Structure 1
Amino acid sequence: MSTPEIGPVLQRRRKAEGLTLGQLAERSSVSKSMLSQIERGQANPTFAVLWSLTRALGIELADLVDGAVPASAGGTIEIVSPHAIPEMRSPDGQCRLRIFSPPQMAGMTEWYELTVEPGGVLDSSAHAHGATEHLTVYDGVLTVTSGGASERAHAGDTARYPADTAHSIANLGEAEARALLVVAYR
């Protein structure tokens, strides 16, 4: 079995989307020079780089490796299967964030499914100036702390608070809590 030719597939998809190397670099956070090297087959990208590129282009990693590139998304409906939803966990494993927002929305509006185990705390550093978070609790009770204030949000409640300061979301209860977390940047 031969090594997949990723560069030409990436280049075709980038051009089909009408993107320059610079625009894809901005969307994916992969440098323009690295993109150029990958497209020309002069660099072997890491998994993290491939993940960033596939998310920025709206294609599946399997399609990239197989060489298949779906047509441009103009006028189509994109279905993202559960296994393709990226997930992050807190260092202690008690908080899980599933990233539902598309990569091109990063830094504008991002939305996540948040699951917090009993005793779990999601601590966050300050986001960009003017950023806010909107936390809608589906199950359980979550305690939100931001800017020295602290409030409990129960199932059905939405907490809105500044996220441009250190903040946290904690599950002080005895059952798992689930919520929708939206981060809005100005």
Structure 2
Amino acid sequence: MARPGVPAPPPEPPRVGITLQQLRQSQGLSLDELSRKAGVSKSMLSQIERNQANPTVAVVWRLATALGVGVGELLGDGRPAPPAIVTVPAHGTPTLKSPDGKCELRILGPIDLAGEFEWYELTVQPGGALESEAHEPGSREHLSVLAGTLEVSAGSDTSRLKAGETARYAVDLPHAIRNTGKTIASALLVVLHAA
């Protein structure tokens, strides 16, 4: 807080170093590559990224243009906008297995949607069963078989599905997915929880 009669110090200029480094790295660019693309020396880029220099407006414009972002994003608070596409590597996809090890669910949906909208890649070995208790009233599942055959039961109803077929069924009662065939079956499973 400024004392009466003493002017407040001017605000710090924006520090674009962290943002610049994150944007450059997210695009897989080296300092050399960005230097050539933007027409800014490698040493200047290095100083900017280490917050040892603040670029001029012209340099900020060149860097933003070379990176394909707005000037405002580069002058932001150090946190670049999230990327338009986020890729999850195969090893980063969580997997659940049934107690008998014959059913595997790869969790394809983001964790923040769990309990609302979930989707999985399901693989069921011959003789395997994924048995579930009732979900919230009004909840539904959609099962699309990609390979093999699967049997779906919900309450007292049962349906057998082959590759290319989809079942949509209520899951606010006990339900199960079984592989009664002789080959591995795979499917996409979508769970819509009632609000």
Q: TM-score range by the shorter chain?
A: 0.5 to 0.7
Specify which of 99, 103, 124 is matched with residue 95 of structure 1: 103
Name the SS of the counterpart of 1:174 in structure 2: coil
AA matched with 2:175: H
AA matched with 1:145: S
**How far off its partner does 1:77 sit?**
1.1
1:47 is matched with: none
**How far off its partner does 1:168 sit?**
0.2
1:111 is matched with: 119
**How far off its partner does 1:74 sit?**
3.2
| 1:175 paired to 2:183 | yes
Unaligned runs of 5+ in 1: 1-70
2:144 is matched with: 136
Aligned CA RMSD, in angstroms, stands at 1.5
Taking structure 2 as the reference length, the TM-score comes to 0.58
AA matched with 1:165: L
CA spacing shift, 1:86–1:72, aligned 2, 3 Å: farther
| 1:185 paired to 2:173 | no
The equivalences for 1:52-67 within 5 A come to: none
CA spacing shift, 1:73–1:97, aligned 2, 3 Å: farther
Name the SS of the counterpart of 1:150 in structure 2: strand
| 1:78 paired to 2:86 | yes
> What is the number of residues matched between the two proteins?
117
CA spacing shift, 1:73–1:101, aligned 2, 3 Å: farther
CA spacing shift, 1:93–1:72, aligned 2, 3 Å: farther
1:19 is matched with: none
1:163 is matched with: 171
Work out the CA distance in 2 between the residues paired with 1:154 and 1:184.
22
Work out the CA distance in 2 between the residues paired with 1:90 and 1:182.
18
AA matched with 1:131: S
Work out the CA distance in 1 between the residues paired with 2:133 and 2:81.
35
Work out the CA distance in 2 between the residues paired with 1:116 and 1:72.
42
| 1:127 paired to 2:135 | yes
AA matched with 2:124: V
Over 2 Å off, 4+ runs: 71-76
Taking structure 1 as the reference length, the TM-score comes to 0.60
AA matched with 1:100: L
Deviations 1:13-66 (A, max 9, x none): xxxxxxxxxxxxxxxxxxxxxxxxxxxxxxxxxxxxxxxxxxxxxxxxxxxxxx
CA spacing shift, 1:73–1:142, aligned 2, 3 Å: farther
Deviations 1:50-97 (A, max 9, x none): xxxxxxxxxxxxxxxxxxxxx566352110000000000000000000
